[in-house]
Chains A and B, each alone.
Chain A
Amino acid sequence: MSDDAVIAVRGLGTRFGTLQVHEGLDLDVRRGEITALVGGSGSGKTTLLREIIMLQQPSAGSIRLLGEELAGIGEAAALRLRRRFGVLFQMGALFSSLTVLENVMVPLREHTTLPRERLRDLAALKMALAGLPAHAADMLPRQLSGGMLKRASLARALALDPELLFLDEPTAGLDPLSAGALDELVLQLKESLGLTIVMVTHDLDSLWRTADRVAFLGERRVIGHAPMRELVRSPHPLIRDYFDCPRAQAAGVAYQAA
């Protein structure tokens, strides 16, 4: 394990009843990179993500997150760790009774004692960083379009200036234009804020466009972990099948030609 590994998963096993989801799974995520988790449906991508962000416990193995072992972690240490990463949930998971600005203020209010005005300024800044117009501040989540919802949720994930950002299907359900814009935003944030990003995605365009490294989940473990260009040449049948379909080919050709 190098010093650069922000997340180190070793020998991870997950079992739901008789269903073995992961077995002997290893994964390293390097600092300052965008790592994408891909794999067929049911391959345990979201489960792995939930285990890393401490929403679920694995049945075996170890996860080190930002240098901290998650198995048997205490309440206080877990809280300290939670301050250091942000999560963008698939459906946004904004609190429906709060406005966008109030949603972004929730983590700030919980973890700092700053005066109200400063909290508002900070929340407005996060909204601006996520590319939301100022007039969205007083809107309720149900009034937002899909793209704006993701951006608002991203603003909330960025609230505490995390080192690490987890994105669960950030571009799912977005039109190609908004999806492309969100990819750009993620890249920009990674560059300017020095973020390490882990994302679960099915979006081949965003895999080509944003991911530094792609971890392919199959057969209950990571069967390929490489930049996209190398991964598509992998001889493994599961990976070949995944990237051999016409849609995947088209995305790859378009990107490599560009």
Chain B
Amino acid sequence: MTDLPSDVSIVTPPTLVIAGRTLRCAGAWTLDGADRLEPLLRAAAAAPGVAVLDASGITRLDTAGALLLLQIAADRGAGAPAWEGLAPEDQALLDLVRERLAAGGERPAPAPRASFVARLGEHSWAHVEQAIGFLGFLGEAAVAAARLIRNPRRLRWKALLTAIEDAGADAVPIVGLLSFLIGVVVAYQGGQLLKTYGANIFIVEMVTLTMVREMAPLIVAIIVAGRTGSAYTAQIGTMQVTEEVDALRTIGIHPMDLLVLPKLMALLIALPLLTLFADALGVFGGMLVAWSLLDLNLVAFAERIPAVLSWRSLLVGVGKAPLFALIIALVGCFQGFQVRGGADSVGRQTTVSVVQSIFLVIIVDAILVVNFGSWGLR
């Protein structure tokens, strides 16, 4: 049993020598040695008065080597001598490469880069188009929802329950931990200030109202957008790439019914529940800080909560959750359907989905907070 050479570097390295009027190439002219030849190539192009191109010393030739040999001849301009002394099979390879290069034709020049104004316009138009597309998607979703309400038996229970589990139950630990920490932070920052005024007891108002009205709905929406909204985009996007979405259509299953509505409903159910849970843990975090920092015992804190937390405040906080759920589910699914082509597009749309849903959540939240006063919900 003979071993074949397992390491290609044992072959002789390629050389290029100019002796008088002869340019002599030898050794293995392969891709491995090509790096070594680059500087020699420039010297060969500059050498004057070469009349003979001698390749008789070449022991191995591959297409990369053949390309370099042709390049040397081409650098000498028209009327360059042909290569001599190649082994028959190497000569055949050289001819093949020459012929294929000629047959391939010239590569068309790349399109000139568009001007700044043109690119700005294209970019803006893309955004407008996407906004119009989103409106269309919204309409389609509304129609699908209306269809479902008229005929509730068409609801896909399994998809809905799985989606609730994924988006809701599985998010409980992370939502709990983060809202607890936010409660701690809020109480700590505010507590220092209240202590200097001797207004320790107001820590209850501060923590409870901040958590319930603002922090809990926001933190839950941001976690769900990052965790679940991105997953929706990636899932639908990949199904788009593998033509699964088209397959659903041809089977007569509307993608809206199977892929969008269950997710939308799941978030509408899960987000308010997660927000309530976040309320509780956030306030609990605040209680612990009040106890350790301000000597306000847990019972006194808890007894004061009903006095400061009106039903209205609770509803304002939890009431935002379905709105955020709509934003996250619709943006996530819409961006999934925007995927075109392959893997890179899935990645891009997933990023867009998370950025857009968090952006929209915060914008909507700001609009609501500013207007609650005039709506009598302060």
Whether A193 lies near B38 (C-beta < 8 A) is no
Whether B345 lies near A128 (C-beta < 8 A) is no
Whether B1 lies near A1 (C-beta < 8 A) is yes
When distances are taken between beta carbons in the complex, the residues of chain A under 8 Å from B92 are 192
Whether B104 lies near A124 (C-beta < 8 A) is yes
Complex Cα gap A138–B1 (Å): 48
| Nearest chain A CB to B72 CB, angstrom units | 13
Whether B107 lies near A124 (C-beta < 8 A) is yes
Task: Report the interface size for chain A: residues with CB under 8 A from the other chain.
Answer: 43
Whether B100 lies near A133 (C-beta < 8 A) is no
Whether B30 lies near A133 (C-beta < 8 A) is no
When distances are taken between beta carbons in the complex, the residues of chain B under 8 Å from A112 are 31, 34-35
Whether B7 lies near A137 (C-beta < 8 A) is no
Give per-residue flags for A93-134: 1 if the beta carbon is below 8 A from chain B beta carbons, else 0. Answer: 000110000000000100111110010011011111100111
| A128 and chain B: residue at smallest CB distance | B104
B108 touches which one: A68, A81, A135, A192 (CB < 8 A)?
A135
When distances are taken between beta carbons in the complex, the residues of chain B under 8 Å from A114 are 34-35, 38
Whether A135 lies near B107 (C-beta < 8 A) is yes
| B34 and chain A: residue at smallest CB distance | A114
| Nearest chain A CB to B63 CB, angstrom units | 6
| A194 and chain B: residue at smallest CB distance | B89
The answer to whether B170 has its CB under 8 Å from any CB of chain A is no
When distances are taken between beta carbons in the complex, the residues of chain A under 8 Å from B30 are 161
When distances are taken between beta carbons in the complex, the residues of chain B under 8 Å from A81 are 6
The answer to whether A240 has its CB under 8 Å from any CB of chain B is no
Give per-residue flags for B2-20: 1 if the beta carbon is below 8 A from chain A beta carbons, else 0. Answer: 1111111000000000000
The answer to whether B303 has its CB under 8 Å from any CB of chain A is no
Complex Cα gap A140–B104 (Å): 18
| B108 and chain A: residue at smallest CB distance | A135
A96 touches which one: B7, B67, B106, B343 (CB < 8 A)?
B343
When distances are taken between beta carbons in the complex, the residues of chain B under 8 Å from A67 are 3-6
When distances are taken between beta carbons in the complex, the residues of chain B under 8 Å from A160 are 31
B344 touches which one: A3, A97, A111 (CB < 8 A)?
A97
Whether A142 lies near B342 (C-beta < 8 A) is yes
Complex Cα gap A194–B343 (Å): 35
| B68 and chain A: residue at smallest CB distance | A118
When distances are taken between beta carbons in the complex, the residues of chain A under 8 Å from B89 are 194
Point out which of A1, A113, A125 has the most chain B C-beta atoms below 10 A from its C-beta: A125
A96-B343, A140-B341 known; A84-B104 Cβ under 8 A = no
The answer to whether A223 has its CB under 8 Å from any CB of chain B is no
| B1 and chain A: residue at smallest CB distance | A1
When distances are taken between beta carbons in the complex, the residues of chain A under 8 Å from B4 are 3, 6, 66-67
The answer to whether B149 has its CB under 8 Å from any CB of chain A is no
The answer to whether B143 has its CB under 8 Å from any CB of chain A is no
Give per-residue flags for B81-121: 1 if the beta carbon is below 8 A from chain A beta carbons, else 0. Answer: 00000000100110011001101111110100000000000
When distances are taken between beta carbons in the complex, the residues of chain A under 8 Å from B103 are 128
| Nearest chain A CB to B221 CB, angstrom units | 31
A1-B1, A134-B104 known; A161-B6 Cβ under 8 A = no
| Nearest chain A CB to B7 CB, angstrom units | 6
When distances are taken between beta carbons in the complex, the residues of chain A under 8 Å from B105 are 133-135
Whether B93 lies near A192 (C-beta < 8 A) is yes
The chain B residues found within 8 Å of chain A, CB to CB, are: 1-8, 30-31, 34-35, 38, 62-64, 67, 71, 89, 92-93, 96-97, 100-101, 103-108, 110, 340-345
Offer 12 A-B interface pairs, CB within 8 angstroms, sorted by A.
A66-B6, A67-B4, A96-B345, A111-B31, A125-B67, A125-B97, A125-B104, A138-B108, A141-B341, A141-B342, A192-B93, A194-B89
